[in-house]
Amino acid sequence: MFEVIHPGVFTTVQDLGRPGYQKYGLAVSGSADHYSHRVANILVGNPESSAVLEVTLMGLKMKSLKQTVIAVTGGDLTFTINGVPSPMWCSVKVNEGDVIHFAGCRSGCRAYISVLGGITVPEILGSRSTDTIGKIGGIEGRALKKGDIIPFKEQPLSQFQGIRRRLPEYLIPTYTNSFHLRVILGPQEGAFSKKAIDTFLSSTYKATKDVNRMGCRLEGPVIEHIGGADITSEGIFFGAIQVPKNGQPIIFLVGRQSVGGYTKIGGVITVDLPKLAQVKPGDRITFERITVEEAHVLLKEKEHDFSILKAYSNN
C-alpha cells in the first residue's frame, strides 16, 4: 500500500478505460497516455490493463507501506525516492517507508506509476478508472487527497531480486514544447473550404490554459466554416478535433463528453494520441494529414514494438 502525503496537482487511479457506457453519457476515461500506461505495467510484469496512478505536472508525494516494485513512465516530473533522483522507464524496487515524490515538471505533462500486482481499488462498471465528472471509479470518484491509502495486490519479489527491467532506449519517447500530430480529415471535412483546411494543416497552434483530461483548447489562425459550425449532436471520439464558431480548434481526450454539436475537421491517429496526453499550456502543436491506410501501418508497427517489449521483459 501507499499512503498519500501530498496529492499533487491532479493525481488519479486509471486503467485503460470504461468502454461501452459512452452511449449512456459516461466518459470512457482511462489513462490519457495509453503508451506510457502499457509500458509501465509491462516493466513490472502486470497485465497491460492493470490500474496505475496518473500524475499531472507535479507535487505527488507518497510513502510506501510495503516493499514492492514500481515503474515510472511518461513525462519527466522529477521523480525521486527519498530525495534521490530515480530512473524512469524501468522497474525500481521500493522498500517499506520509502517516500516517492514528483517535485516538478521538466518535460511532458503526465507521469504513470505502475506497481507490481496492480492497484486494487474496486471495479465500477468493469473498470477501476477514475471519472471525476461522473464521480465513479478510483477512490470515491475523485482525485487523490492527503491521507488516502492506495491498495495494491502483493506479489512475491523473487523474480525481481537483482533484476531491473528497462525499456530499450529507442522506445523511450522524448517530449519538447512542440508536438507534431498526424491526423485523418473528417468526419465533417466538407464543412470547411480548401483554404480553411490548408490553414489548419500549415499553421502552428498554441495550447491555452484550458488543457485537462477532457480536452485541449488551442489558439491560432482562424479556421473558417463554409456554412456554419453547428451540426446535429453526435458521438465524440478520443482525438477528435472540433472547430466551434470561433474557428479555434479543440482536441478531445479521454475525459471528453459523450456527444457534441460542432463540426470536426479531423482526428488524431491512434499512435499519436499519447503525444497529445503530454501537451501542457503554452505548448505548440502542428498537424499533418495522412491516410487511413498509413495510420493502420503505423499502428501495426507500434503493436509490433509492444510484442518485442513483452518478449524482452519475460526473459
Work out whether the CA dihedral 91, 93, 94, 100 comes out positive or negative.
negative
Output the CA–CA distances (angstroms, integers) from residue 7 to 60, 121, 174, 291, in the order listed: 5, 17, 26, 42
H or E element: which one contains 305? helix 292-313
DSSP per-residue codes, 204-256: -EEEEEEESSSEEEEESS---BSS-SEEEEEE--TTEEE--TTS--EEE-TT-
Question: Which alpha helices (H) appear in 5-79, and where do they start and end?
Answer: 34-43
pLDDT band at 163; cut points 50, 70, 90: low
> Is residue 88's pLDDT more than 60?
yes
Reply yes or no on whether the pLDDT at 92 is more than 80: yes
Which of 109-118, 147-156, 175-184 is predicted with the least confidence, judged by mean pLDDT?
147-156
Q: Say what the pTM is.
A: 0.95
Q: What is the mean pLDDT of residues 119-128?
A: 96
pLDDT at 161 over 60: no
Looking at the chain, the whole-number percentage of residues with pLDDT higher than 70 is: 97
How do residues 77-87 score in pLDDT, each as one tens digit?
A: 999 999 999 99
Distances (CA, A) of 141 to 46, 111, 207, 233, 271: 24, 20, 27, 27, 28
User: For the chain, first and last CA: distance in Å?
Assistant: 28
Angle at 57 between CA 52 and CA 60, to 5 degrees: 60
Query: With bands split at pLDDT 50, 70 and 90, how would you rate the model's confidence at 307?
Result: confident
| pLDDT score recorded for residue 154 | 79
CA 69 to CA 52: how far, in whole Å?
13
**Cβ neighbours for 279, distance < 8 A, ≥ 6 positions apart:** 109, 179, 207, 211, 216, 285
Q: What is the pLDDT of residues 269-286, one digit of tens each?
A: 999 999 999 999 999 999
Q: In whole angstroms, what is the distance from residue 110 CA to residue 301 CA?
A: 24
pLDDT for 315 beyond 60: no
